[in-house]
Structure 1
Amino acid sequence: MKLSGKVALVTGGSRGIGAAIAKRLAREGAKVAITWSTNPDKATEVVGSIKAAGGHAIAIQADSANPADIRRAVASVVEQEGGLDILINNAGVATMVPVEEFQEADFDRLIAVNVKGVYVATQEALRHLKAGGRIINIGSINAEVVPFPGMAIYAMSKAAIATFTRGLAREVGARGITVNNIQPGPVNTDMNPADSDFAETLRGLMAVPRYGSAEEIAGLAAYLASDESAFVTGASWNIDGGFAL
């Protein structure tokens, strides 16, 4: 129970990697809040699973493309749980289209969620985080490796997060707050299933020829959220089965 007494907010925590992180942090003793955008049933499932295991969880509807929603979500967590210790910036979207064909509306939403949403959530959380606070961004290995056409805009958004992590770590380190970036490679989720034809291609690019699990990403997040990682900040952690080698 290394996170006992901590309060964590996981944006986009109703499915995939976010859901796995929420469950793992709760298992480590944290009180967990998740945000969801369009599927209340999935959020209810995650909260129910955490409570059934003896943990504490709440769900808050918030579109990570809407700054007002994000600010309201952070304020709601602080009001309901009495504070905030851990922010997991997990919410993200992916559109894979060549730059020449990329629609401006799709570009605006991708940047709104993947970049501006992280900035807004972080800015709001910093009003409440104290010494020992943790900010963990969920980026992507595509910040470093872009193996196929059509990924330039998505990769740009995730590279921005890696750089933001380094800069922010400098700003808040003296306050005892750490900032780290997890860069998953291919992970088996509903957005990128391990049994697809595309997955076979990706496995051929990896040193460990299998998809990762959301639970493996959650294990790294739990470490970075804990006191054990107090001397680790500004780092981008590749957890990718050797995809970037």
Structure 2
Amino acid sequence: MNPVTIVTGGSRGIGAATARRLAHDGHHVVVGYRRDHDAAARVVADIRTAGRHGIAVAAEAADPEQIQRLFDTAADLGPLTGLVNNAGVTSPIGPFTDLRVDDLRRVVDVNLIGYVLAAQQAARRMSAGGAIVNVSSAAATLGSPGEYVHYAAVKAATDTLTVGLAKELAPRGIRVNAVAPGIIRTDLHAVSGAPDRPDTAAGRIPMGRAGQPDEVAGAIAWLLGPDAGYTTGAVLRVSGGL
């Protein structure tokens, strides 16, 4: 039986790369996305080209009813075995004192409340052998001063969520881990007002370059797979040395 995995934020960046990688590895994949139907449809087409079943479901990450519908739809493909909690937003880069409350609330809603809601649905539905991977960030330990301290704080909460939930679900045979990407070439930087950040930041990355979404997807696929069968509560850094 093929694994069935939900990837939230699966229409672009790390999420899209992960959905494609998982399909290549034999997973049926449900692509959660917010509003870019065409991008989600392209990812699903690639999943099907790989010979797996794919479904795209529009769902607002912080809405409990929409998240439940996402998981209900995934049940059409079979019992849920995996969740990649990846849907995320940031806000304009800038000093902490310039942070707007609306931006703060949106970052908390999507990156923390959204992760909790999805993980809760997964924990209710998974049986032994299931696995959750939360997409955190190297910012959780670096703090991102002068950029987005609030985002870093929320990602630190993601790490805590990962450790606590791993311990709670371990007796049921469900594993929970996280990946912590560094600076990756995605459109997240354009949204935050610094589209060239992967290039301008390269000098402070020990490996001398930004990462690619596929490099993060490979780590996620490993954490979901049987080779990571004794790994839970881990935060795997994929940051080029940051």
Normalised TM-score (structure 2): 0.94
CA contact (8 A) 1:180 1:236 kept: yes
Other-structure match for 1:225: 224
2:79 to 80, 83, 91: 83
Cα shift readout 1:42-72 (whole Å, capped 9, x = no counterpart): 0001001121232221100101122221111
Q: Which residue of 1 aligns with 2:210?
A: 211
C-alpha deviation, 1:210, in angstroms: 1.1
**1:155-194 residue pairs with structure 2 within 5 A?**
155-192=152-189
The Cα of 1:164 is off from its aligned counterpart by: 0.8
Q: CA contact under 8 A between 2:23 and 2:29: conserved in structure 1?
A: yes
Q: The residue matched to 1:55 in structure 2 has which SS? A: coil
Q: What one-letter code is carried by the residue in structure 2 that aligns with 1:17?
A: I
Letter in 1 for 2:85: N
The corresponding residue for 2:65 is 68
Q: Structure 1 CA distance, aligned partners of 2:77 and 2:136?
A: 27
Q: After superposition, where does 1:233-244 map in structure 2 within 5 Å?
A: 233-243=232-242
String of CA shifts for 1:53-100, please: whole Å, max 9, x gaps: 32221100101122221111112112x112200000000001134332
Q: Secondary structure at the match of 1:144?
A: helix
- Report the AA paired with residue 230 of structure 2: F
Q: Secondary structure at the match of 1:17?
A: helix
Distance 1:163 1:48, change over 3 A: same
CA pair 146-219 structure 1, distance change in 2 beyond 3 A: same
Superposed CA offset, 1:137-181 (max 9, x none) = 001000011344131100011000001111111100111111101
- CA RMSD in angstroms, aligned pairs only: 1.5
Distance 2:62 2:195 in 1: 29
Q: Distance in 2 between matches of 1:147 and 1:94?
A: 12
Three-state SS of the structure 2 residue aligned to 1:127 is helix
Any idea what SS the aligned residue of 2:222 has?
A: helix
How many Å separate the matches in 2 of 1:189 and 1:203? Answer: 14
2:236 maps to a residue whose letter is W
- The unaligned stretches of length 5 or more in structure 2 are none
- State which drifts further: 201-210 or 22-31: 201-210
CA contact (8 A) 2:89 2:188 kept: no
Q: Which amino acid aligns with 2:25?
A: E
Q: Return the offset for 1:196.
A: 5.2
Contact 1:180–1:235 (Cα < 8 Å) also in 2: yes
In the other structure, the counterpart of 1:110 is 107
Deviation of 1:111 (Å): 0.5
TM-score by length of 1: 0.93
Counterpart of 2:119?
122
Q: Give the distance between the partners of 1:66 and 1:99, measured in 2 at CA.
A: 27
Trace 1:24-63 onto structure 2 (pairs within 5 A): 24-63=21-60
Please give the secondary structure, in 2, of the residue aligned with 1:192.
Answer: helix
Tell me the CA shift for residue 197 of structure 1. 4.1
Q: Describe the superposition over 1:21-62 as per-residue Cα deviations: whole angstroms up to 9, x where unpaired.
A: 001111111110011111100000100112123222110010
| Alignment match, 1:139 | 136
Contact 2:96 2:146 in 1 (8 A): no
Give the percent of matched residue pairs that are identical in Structure 1 and Structure 2.
Answer: 39
Tell me which moved more, 69-78 or 127-136. 69-78
Give the secondary structure class of the aligned counterpart of 2:237: strand
Describe the shift of the 1:102–1:147 C-alpha distance in structure 2 as closer, same or farther (beyond 3 A): closer
The 8 Å contact of residues 186 and 192 in structure 1, kept in 2 or not, is answered as: no
| Letter paired with 1:209 | G
Residue 100 of structure 1: aligned partner: 97
Shift of 1:192: 3.2
Matched position secondary structure for 2:221:
helix
Q: Cα deviation per residue 1:187-243 (whole Å; 9 max; x = unaligned)?
A: 1112237x9543333111111011111111111111111111011110111100011
CA distance in structure 1 between the aligned counterparts of 2:20 and 2:196, rounded to whole angstroms: 30
